[in-house]
Structure 1
Amino acid sequence: MNRTTLSLIAAVAALAAVTGFAAAGTPGGDDGPAKAAAQLPVERSSLLCPEPSTSDLAETAYTSYTPASKGTEEAGKAELLPAETGAGDTDSSKSRSKKPKPVVTPKEPGKPVAGEATGADAPALVGTADGALAPGWTVQQTTTVEVGTGRGLLGVNCSAPDTDFYFPGASTAEDRSDYIHLTNPDDEAAVVDVQLYGPDGAIKSDVGEGIQIAPHASVPVLLSTLTEKPYTNLTLHVTARSGRVAAAVSAADDKLGGDWLPAAADPAASLVLPGIPKDATSVRLVAFAPGQDDADLKVQLATSSGKISPAGHDTLHVKSGMTAAADLGDVTRGDAGSLILTPTEDSVPVVAALRVTRGKGADQETAFIPATRDIGARATVADNRAKGSTLALTAPGAAAKVKVTASAGADGGTATSKEYTVKAGTTLSVTPPVPAGLKGPYALTVEPVSGGQVYGSRMLEEKQDGVPAFTIQTLPDDRGTVSVPEADEDLSVLQK
């Protein structure tokens, strides 16, 4: 066998490991049952962070963390670089002619790295990680704004690029200023359509069609420019005609503060929205049915002692292609909980999110909880603090046990871990473990030990002149591994 043939075989094997795909067997397909797929660490990750704020008073903190994973390469590289502003130049060679300075540059798994930015000029960020720093790479962006529209604590997990997103809970009400931030990580321009759905269905607008995002650039779009009249409750659907983007909604209210509204989990018949704070003074549920059928949902709250039906809101009817909303009031009544949506009869896919309000009068603040995936093999969240962090874990079905590991701090500390048992149909709300000798922000990883599926979220809170400022991030699987089928060599393809 010559050197060229050996190189080709090696290239095919490497491609299978990177993409998570490999063909098994001979062309005839008569080699017996397929072999089980292996779960291998991903070799490259992409994350994008939206432009933090338009306030000159904004203070933004970035925390990057990669949990240690078995089977990775010893070396790795990760960095977050400023994106271009606006539509930018569609010629990638011109738009990236000057190498910008990274905001954070992680060096090794298991240790957080922190960065910061101030004012309204902080850009969106485009990040990549490879090797040992890629599996489960997580970046949290947390912004503090003391005064003005949208003041409060605004937090978002920087997200991976994709082609399809739903945002139930968006608004074009007169007291809201909602922007959809679209960030393109690639070397080619992306073309995106933005569609709003209100209580009567799709809202016609030519403005949201064919929005172009230049390579490595970020574009914010004010949602009120897509409709001629205000809507309190909307669902935003973002689809990429070409390319891919990361998307997140910045929601700012004149009186109720603001936060980031992340994309909801993919449409499904049953949904979990975890971690409503125990002192929530108002909770609004917004749902949307993207298919051809209406959805009838059973609404339950998983409390610390079990599932209950919110008074007067035990069901929700969602018409096809329309946005439905229900104000649940102070549904938790002093006991942190999670909302569970299941079909009453036929299974119809829906998307959903919650707007949660804490405080009273002029001292109110809001955050959002979208429906999320379960923690899967492992979930990771960065930027935890010694005080003001709360972890909520929900087991909607069978009871479960999980292991929660607190990393070292960005500037020092010793990692620690603790196991928790979540009873069936309940929500467990705890102060997470804190590393000994903690200095700087730290990360949490949650891993299942036994039992059923678990869903989770993390709340950060701090006082701002009497305002209970807070933000909530859900804990879906961090997708640190990829399924790679075991394959046999088929050298016949090299002989044709």
Structure 2
Amino acid sequence: MNRTTLSLIAATAALAAVTGLGALTAPDASGSDSPRAAEYLPVERTSLLCPPPSTSDLAETTYTSFTPTTKGTGKDGKADLVPATGDPGGKSAKRPPKAAVKPAEPGTPVSGDTSGAQSPALIGTAEGNTAPGWTVQQTTEVGAGTGRGLQGVNCTAPDTEFWFPGASTGEGRTDYVHLTNPDDSAAVVDIQLYGEDGLLESTVAEGITVKPKSTEPVLLSTLTNGSHPDVTVHVVVRSGRVGAAMLALDDELGGDWLAASADPADTLVLPGIPADATSVRLVAFTPGGTDADLKVRLASPSGLITPAGQETLHVKSGMTSAVDLGDLTRGEAGSLVLSPTDRSVPVVAAVQVVRGKGDERETGFIAAARPVGTRASAVDNTAKGTTLSLTAPAGAAEVKVTASAGTGGGTAVTETFRLKAGTTQNVKLPVPSGLKGTFALTVEPVSGGPVFASRTLEGDQDEVAAFTVQTLPDDRGTVAVPDAEQDLSVLQR
């Protein structure tokens, strides 16, 4: 190739680059330099990762998949959940086993079951009209032994950083962080543990390799010495990306999945603490170089109240802080709201919740959540044993809640609820007419301030107060697309 040809190619590439720049930076025809409002369009592809559901041979797991109907998506789409077999690119001659559930068309949930301790992690991909708002949950019932009770977790998108306050290496606890790699190349992960005195020493928590299309369970107690009842786990991905989920099991108090906290922020909301909670333990951590002083308030049905004797929480920089709040909700709906007393310092937080008394006690976790935003969905709901909790911490809000058709049939219904500022409501659940099976709940704020939500499922075990709580963050079913056009006039300036 001669020099003239190279110069022509370089000039053409430069012109294309400048044309793209002009499309994003050129002022509009009115002469105003302010950018036009972005248009929000449905996403065209969604990835979800589900950790292995249980380590118990007695586990019975249900997977439920649902995509809410979204305008502007067209008629075509597909979604698949496949086991994380460690086979990048599907190169193995042996066809991998199918997952327990095959996702269905938008608007109708579908479920499938599996049992035992050998169920693999799942890698999910949705495209076209099944992608916007795609939600998958695994709900596991364990009849006896460590972690007995109900365990639920939303399958999550891969990412590069996760915070898990509320973990433990204390006596009676067995906590695993499950790392799932959806890609065709290996991921390298560091795990940092922070106790009440700061960073815990570890020689094996750095440079953990997660093979392609596979999952890696890491037992926290193998990463550090000693017993530490309150630990914040920080998962950082050096290369690649992973899905991370924490399974926290207790010898006496059952167990559940601990979801990652919302990104560090100066104000956090932990929505939907069960009204009959007998114990609430708050765990917080600040990753910055400054101590945090937080106001602790409960958004109740009547407004924001301050727990007596627990008005504030001091969180030392780089150290995990915990406080017992007792039976905080006292039979009413409630959500914790944490905010700075003076200066703003980013924190992460979660609560460990216990229901029941004596041998009937069971544990669940609620991490600080992102707001519902545009829309969020929760699946595997039943007419009885499901509680939907809505919180408006800053201002009054109006919220639309849709109950989908059931997995076995039924007709969707929609109801609208109004929330007063600073309150939490456990709303009367809309139930599909002619319901068969379980159904999905879709929450959409209509007006007013930010809304936070969670959904509680109760098990039917006679001797255990089995339950699990999942928060409902924005499903990120739409993406902002800038209003741009080509403008070659920038080449003449």
2:99 to 98, 102, 105: 102
Which residue number in structure 2 is paired with residue 132 of structure 1? 129
Give deviations 1:219-256, integer Å, cap 9, x for gaps: 10000001110100000000100000000000000000
Deviation at 1:70, TM superposition (A): 0.6
Counterpart contact for 1:43–1:130, Cα < 8 Å:
yes
Segment drifting more, 346-355 vs 454-463 = 454-463
Which residue number in structure 2 is paired with residue 332 of structure 1? 329
Matched to 1:453, the amino acid is P
Measure, in 2, the Cα distance between the counterparts of 1:175 and 1:330.
Answer: 22
2:157 to 157, 160, 164: 160
Give deviations 1:300-345, integer Å, cap 9, x for gaps: 0011111111111110000111100000000111112000000000
Measure, in 2, the Cα distance between the counterparts of 1:111 and 1:493.
Answer: 50
1:400 to 397, 400, 416: 397
Q: Secondary structure at the match of 2:301?
A: coil
Q: Secondary structure at the match of 1:159?
A: coil
Aligned pair 1:419/2:420, yes or no? no
Measure, in 2, the Cα distance between the counterparts of 1:197 and 1:190.
Answer: 23
Measure, in 1, the Cα distance between the counterparts of 2:490 and 2:169.
Answer: 57
Measure, in 1, the Cα distance between the counterparts of 2:247 and 2:216.
Answer: 12
TM-score, normalising length: structure 2: 0.92
Segment drifting more, 49-58 vs 93-102 = 93-102
> How large is the RMSD of aligned CA atoms in angstroms?
2.0
- Counterparts in 2 of 1:491 and 1:65: CA distance versus 1, 3 Å: farther
Which residue number in structure 2 is paired with residue 67 of structure 1? 68
Which residue number in structure 2 is paired with residue 83 of structure 1? 84
Matched to 1:70, the amino acid is K
Measure, in 2, the Cα distance between the counterparts of 1:164 and 1:28.
Answer: 32
Deviation at 1:96, TM superposition (A): 8.2
Which residue number in structure 1 is paired with residue 432 of structure 2? 435
Deviation at 1:194, TM superposition (A): 0.6
Which residue number in structure 2 is paired with residue 37 of structure 1? 38
Measure, in 2, the Cα distance between the counterparts of 1:261 and 1:164.
Answer: 15
Measure, in 2, the Cα distance between the counterparts of 1:479 and 1:173.
Answer: 36
Give deviations 1:129-174, integer Å, cap 9, x for gaps: 0000000000010000010000000000000000000000000012
Which residue number in structure 2 is paired with residue 358 of structure 1? 355
Which residue number in structure 1 is paired with residue 3 of structure 2? none
- Counterparts in 2 of 1:340 and 1:106: CA distance versus 1, 3 Å: same
Counterpart contact for 2:46–2:125, Cα < 8 Å:
yes
- Counterparts in 2 of 1:95 and 1:291: CA distance versus 1, 3 Å: farther
Matched to 1:489, the amino acid is Q
Measure, in 2, the Cα distance between the counterparts of 1:30 and 1:356.
Answer: 54
Which residue number in structure 2 is paired with residue 276 of structure 1? 273
Counterpart contact for 1:180–1:223, Cα < 8 Å:
yes
Larger Rg: 2
Give the 5 Å matches for 1:363-382: 363-382=360-379
Measure, in 2, the Cα distance between the counterparts of 1:204 and 1:96.
Answer: 44
2:256 to 254, 259, 263: 259
Give deviations 1:83-141, integer Å, cap 9, x for gaps: 12xxx57x656568634323322231001011111111111110000000000000010
Which residue number in structure 2 is paired with residue 192 of structure 1? 189
Q: Secondary structure at the match of 2:221?
A: helix
Counterpart contact for 1:24–1:487, Cα < 8 Å:
no
Which residue number in structure 2 is paired with residue 244 of structure 1? 241
Percent sequence identity over aligned pairs: 65
Q: How many residues align?
A: 472
Q: Which runs of 5+ in 1 are unaligned?
A: 1-7, 13-21
Counterpart contact for 2:83–2:96, Cα < 8 Å:
no
Which residue number in structure 2 is paired with residue 116 of structure 1? 113
Which residue number in structure 1 is paired with residue 229 of structure 2? 232
Measure, in 1, the Cα distance between the counterparts of 2:268 and 2:326.
Answer: 20
1:322 to 319, 324, 348: 319
Measure, in 2, the Cα distance between the counterparts of 1:73 and 1:354.
Answer: 41
Give deviations 1:189-235, integer Å, cap 9, x for gaps: 11100110001111111211111111110110000001110100000
Counterpart contact for 1:189–1:215, Cα < 8 Å:
yes
